[in-house]
Amino acid sequence: MSPKSSTRPESRKKASTRAPAARPSARARRPVKAPRSKPTAALRAVEVRAWVATADMGLGHQRAAYPLRDIAEGGLITLGRAENNSNGEHKAWERLRRSYEFLSRTKSWPVIGNAVFGMLDKIQNIPPFYPLRDLSHPTFQVAWLKKLITSGMCGGLLEKMKQKPLPLVTTFYAPAIAADMAGFGRIYCVICDAEVNRAWVAENPRESKITYLAPCGRAVRRLNEYGIPNERIWLTGFPIPLELLGDEQLTVLKWDLGQRLRYLDPSERFWPLHGLNVEHFLGAKNCRFAKERALTITFGVGGAGAQTDISYRVARSLREKIVKGEITYNILAGIRPEVVQFLESIKKELALPQIRIIYGKTLDEYFRGFTECMRTTDIIWTKPSELSFYCGLGIPVIMAPHIGSQEDYNQAWLLEIQAGFPQQDPQYTDQWLMDMLRAGRLADAAWNGFLKARKYGTYKIHEILRTGTMERETSVLRR
């Protein structure tokens, strides 16, 4: 029996009598074409405006802000950049950013890397969730942040907010805490990980006016433990670029996932078990295999380029399949020229000009390239960062070693919903990954991610800003 849904499934002309395993014959049917993504302004008339702030503290916070750019008054405000800082504020942000990038790189140091990383990671450590207890008391990170804000951090943003009273949506905690301390209302803080440090919450959480927009249930429970009541938390899901959804009916996503599940199941282990269920949610026409490309793996090296060595070993292992055109291999390089130079040297050393490097001179250029890349990505290989939430698009995650306490919890969440797998030895990727592919396990993970993770985050954030509330959905097509 097909799962019940509050959204009406795609209709069929008549009930099918063939076995679920049978693939539609490409010759017997008309060729189907992929729907085109459109700029977000064309997807939906933007009805709200807000100050949208992020921070130059790794790509994660900025990736969360990018889908909200069309509602951003005056464009996205990236704190840590000179043009968005008040006098004397830039140095404080630079120290924070450099410490973050230093932390990201230490784990890859030979011999002493893990020990140094362990000491530094304790600064941003997230305590175990169990046993259940009150964690609302301020930590030294909260006191440190309060001192920085009192010294002028986020002052430039607060001046802008005084000039025009609009809601604030921020994907980093400091602007939310600063606006709360300054007495502003309508403050929305987007959580970028499955669980977060106590620093994301004000000194006195019960008197704070910050409303939190959570990507998953684990984040809600963690905020409760920090003293945030449920009435100030909305379970929206992580904001995803609307180009990857298509519209509120998920026109683009349904097509992309219908094709992806075919590439992820070459031995037809998944479709005999789940074919009718997939057609119920995606529509039969989206499940006809167009077979327009090769299986595509996208590797994320991290904003600081911390895992370029793994991307090299993966490329070397898959070299023969890449040369034969059996696999397309993308590498997400961000905006750092030195990372791109290293990756170009990999291409040259391995004689693999087929490797596609996703890079931009600006963040906007990079995120546009990233969004386009995600449409044809079948497997994403990354440390369990904010990219973990892209499993909601039905993209299975191969998890590289995590960096930082929050990524440890992201990994736990991916394993909990069965949407990802820890990487095995990259040197033998051509063996273990192909075994998983033939067994249908990656298709299973893709479908689990689509059903269990939320992909409607951007729409839900729009809804909250527009109405002050949010309809809680039960259908996987509306959440």
Pairing of strands 233-235, 168-170: unpaired
Write the DSSP assignment of 343-412 as a string of letters.
Answer: HHHHHHHHT-TTPEEEE-SSHHHHHHHHHHHHHT-SEEEE-SSGGGGGGGGT--EEEPPP-SHHHHHHHH
**pLDDT of the residue at 24:** 43
Digit-coded pLDDT (tens) for 124-176: 689 999 999 999 999 988 998 898 899 888 988 999 999 999 999 999 999 99
Which of the listed ranges 46-60, 241-255, 302-316 does the model predict with the highest average pLDDT? 241-255
**pLDDT of the residue at 107:** 52
DSSP secondary structure letter of residue 476 = G
Q: Which tokens in the block code for residue 250?
A: 């998920």
Q: Are 233 and 211 contacting, i.e. CB atoms less than 8 angstroms apart?
A: yes
Query: Does the pLDDT at position 123 exceed 80?
Result: no
Query: Does the pLDDT at position 314 exceed 80?
Result: yes
Mean pLDDT to the nearest integer, 15-40 = 53
Mean pLDDT to the nearest integer, 220-247 = 97
Give residue 283's region: left, alpha or beta (phi > 0; psi -120 to 50).
left
Query: Which of 46-50, 278-282, 300-304, 358-362 shows the lowest mean pLDDT across its residues?
Result: 300-304
Question: By 3-state DSSP, what share of the chain in percent is helix, strand and coil, each rounded to 5?
Answer: 45, 10, 40
Spatial distance between the Cα atoms of 294 and 377, rounded to a whole number of angstroms: 10
Query: Does the pLDDT at position 7 exceed 50?
Result: no
User: Cα dihedral angle (165, 170, 174, 176), rounded to 10 degrees?
Assistant: 50
User: Rounded mean pLDDT of the chain?
Assistant: 87
Spatial distance between the Cα atoms of 55 and 77, rounded to a whole number of angstroms: 8
DSSP secondary structure letter of residue 139 = -
Query: Which of 23-37, 88-102, 215-229 shows the lowest mean pLDDT across its residues?
Result: 23-37
**pLDDT of the residue at 56:** 86
Mean pLDDT to the nearest integer, 247-273 = 97
Q: How many CB atoms lie within 10 A of CB 268?
A: 15
**pLDDT of the residue at 152:** 86
With H, G, I as helix, E, B as strand and everything else as coil, classify residue 265.
coil
Pairing of strands 295-300, 233-235: unpaired
Spatial distance between the Cα atoms of 46 and 119, rounded to a whole number of angstroms: 45
| Burial of 91 from C-beta contacts in 10 A (0-12 / 13-18 / 19+) | exposed
Report in angstroms the alpha-carbon separations of 90 from 82, 95, 172, 181. Answer: 6, 9, 16, 20
Spatial distance between the Cα atoms of 392 and 446, rounded to a whole number of angstroms: 8
**pLDDT of the residue at 54:** 96
**pLDDT of the residue at 6:** 42
Query: Does the pLDDT at position 368 exceed 70?
Result: yes
Q: ∠ CA 459-463-464 to the nearest 5 degrees?
A: 120
Residue 112: pLDDT band by 50, 70, 90 thresholds? Answer: very low
Q: Which tokens in the block code for residue 228?
A: 């945030």
| Distance of alpha carbon 151 from the chain centroid | 33
Query: Does the pLDDT at position 331 exceed 90?
Result: yes
Residue 88: pLDDT band by 50, 70, 90 thresholds? Answer: low
Query: Does the pLDDT at position 472 exceed 70?
Result: yes
Query: Does the pLDDT at position 100 exceed 50?
Result: yes
pTM of the model: 0.88
